[in-house]
Amino acid sequence: MTIIINRNCSTPIYLQIKNQIQQRILSGELSDDYVLLSERNLAKQLKVDRSTVVKAYMELKADGLVESFVGKGTVVLPQLTKDMEFDKIYTPKIHWNQMINQDTDLEHHDLIAKIMEATQYRKIISFAGGIPASNTYPIEIFKNIQNQCMDKYKEKLFMPTSIYGCMELRNSIKNHLESRGINAATKEIMITSGSQQGIYYFAKLFIEAGDVVLMEEPTYLGAIEIFKAAKGKVIGVPIDKEGIKTDVLENLLLRYRPKFIYLQSSFQNPSGVTLSMKRRKELLKLAYFYQIPILEDDGYGEINFSENRLPSLKALDKSDYVVYLGTFSKALSLGMRIGWVAANEFIINKFSKFKQITDFHSNTMTQYMLSEFLNGGYYQQHIKKIIEEYKSKRDLMCTEILKYKVDGLQFSIPEGGYFLWCKLPENVRLTILMNQAIKEGVMFMPPDPFYCNGSIGDTYIRLNYTYPTREEIKKGVKALMEAIKKSRITTYAEGKSRTNDRNPII
């Protein structure tokens, strides 16, 4: 086997070696079981470094042309021919990553996945998640409802529902929405596998590559992910205590031609802020004026600790501009994967086509059970129970945090929802804090995923008070405050922070 190296050629030497051997194998010049020179000997013969030959042989192996066997050396493999017997053929390794649609790489925060995994273990206390407390699930009630459903609906529980969802649940949700001021006909309600699926379908329906979507900032990270995966250009609108800043929103509506506005109108994730009545009306007026649809995600609206009950945008909207997403995930159970869309028939029909090609319909048995749960008045009772529970946990977390008097740590007390959104003291560096917190045995959500294009600064953390137990809240807050104190950059003057920074509640 003579190999000629051209040192003036721009092709690397290892590749020249590889290419020449490959050509001879493919041309049949080197047949099955032909033993190549050892790497050492070939290197000597060619006057190249041994590592060059090693690299050439590695490439040949990767291409399925040769294989090394102990005691035999590197031999030419039988080349695949279709006439060969199935059991004897050598099959090249498939290169999946070269075959896939390269457009599907998501700019992806693996945080949700990691947090969901972490909830399965209890080694460190998690303030990072966003699921209901374990002790709130109405296990006994569902046990009874299941047994009743089995007797009442029998085989229906195992059969497909309509693509729009089971009629019983759609009717129950219709009545439920009515009690909340939303008038939607049953045909304007469709069941989805969580409101996540509703956001996905909306993105699929509206966003073409480059389209602008406006959303609050910070906002639900899953929505950002979906809109970016759909190749939307996501632009954040800042919020204050009254929610999305409508003056800035108008500037952005004028500057861009957004396809729609996405927002969580009540106790939004992560800030806990609720859109004020004044802003709700301003927002709708802007939507009407500029003819921009609104996607209202209302997962937290019912978890309301205050006496103040604001109507949803959908309830205020008399002109069908609002597409409303509801869910059982936050008030009852995320594991059920049942949410709904309330919208005009045009949207519902478009969504139903997506439902048909993606998963036909959502789990039948759970739909029937939820319908019974709503109709039996259990849902209303459940909401009362969790409001009491979560309010007391919110109070506990706030009290505990205040106990440690961490200079410069600020938060507003949310009037509902799941989260405390805490501004860190200026002299705390987030990256240090994250490592320190894990060491102390507590986990939280960093701010970046909640911003459309990264954080405006490493200053906020999101703390969930619904999932951890009271004991965990106490221990976790202690650990976290300890971690914050330890994450201070000491070169900063201690007394630097301004007076109002000393009041931890703003």
Residues 71-110 that bind a second copy (CB under 8 A): 80-82, 84, 86, 89, 91-97, 99-104, 106, 108
Min CB(475)–a second copy separation in Å: 21
Min CB(409)–a second copy separation in Å: 30
Number of H helices, E strands in the chain: 17, 14
Min CB(197)–a second copy separation in Å: 5
Could you tell me if residue 30 is left (phi over 0), alpha (psi between -120 and 50 degrees) or otherwise beta?
beta
Min CB(208)–a second copy separation in Å: 5
Among 241, 318, 403, 439, binds a second copy (CB under 8 A): 318
Among 14, 57, 300, 321, binds a second copy (CB under 8 A): 321
Show the binding pattern over residues 200-219: x = contacts a second copy (CB under 8 A), - = does not.
Answer: x---xxxxx-----------
Q: Between residues 298 and 440, which has the closer beta carbon with respect to a second copy? A: 298
Among 16, 161, 219, 269, binds a second copy (CB under 8 A): 161
Ordered DSSP codes for 55-71? HHHHHHHHTTSEEEETT
Residue type, 373: F
Enumerate residues 6+ apart whose C-beta is below 8 A from 263.
Answer: 215, 216, 219, 243, 244, 275, 294, 295, 296, 297
Residues 438-497 that bind a second copy (CB under 8 A): none
Show the binding pattern over residues 117-156: x = contacts a second copy (CB under 8 A), - = does not.
Answer: x-xx----------xx-xx-x-x--xx--xx--x---xx-
For residue 7, what are its two tokens?
A: 């040192």
Residues 246-285 that bind a second copy (CB under 8 A): 250, 259-260, 281, 284-285
Q: Between residues 44 and 231, which has the closer beta carbon with respect to a second copy? A: 231
Residues 30-69 that bind a second copy (CB under 8 A): none
The verdict on 165 binding a second copy (CB under 8 A) reads no
Q: Between residues 33 and 359, which has the closer beta carbon with respect to a second copy? A: 359
Show the binding pattern over residues 346-365: x = contacts a second copy (CB under 8 A), - = does not.
Answer: xx--x-xxx-xxxxxxxxxx
Min CB(146)–a second copy separation in Å: 5
Q: Between residues 26 and 150, which has the closer beta carbon with respect to a second copy? A: 150
Secondary structure class of 429 (helix, strand, coil): coil
Dist CA 356 CA 343 (whole Å): 18
The verdict on 194 binding a second copy (CB under 8 A) reads yes
The label of the residue with tokens 């205040």 reads 402
Binding-residue total with a second copy (CB under 8 A): 100
CA 394 to chain centroid, in Å, comes to: 24
- Between strands 260-263 and 66-69, the pairing is unpaired
Tell me which DSSP letter residue 499 carries: G
Positive/negative CA dihedral, 397, 403, 404, 408: positive
C-beta separation of 181 from 315 below 8 A: yes
Min CB(16)–a second copy separation in Å: 25
Enumerate residues 6+ apart whose C-beta is below 8 A from 131.
Answer: 119, 329, 334, 466, 467
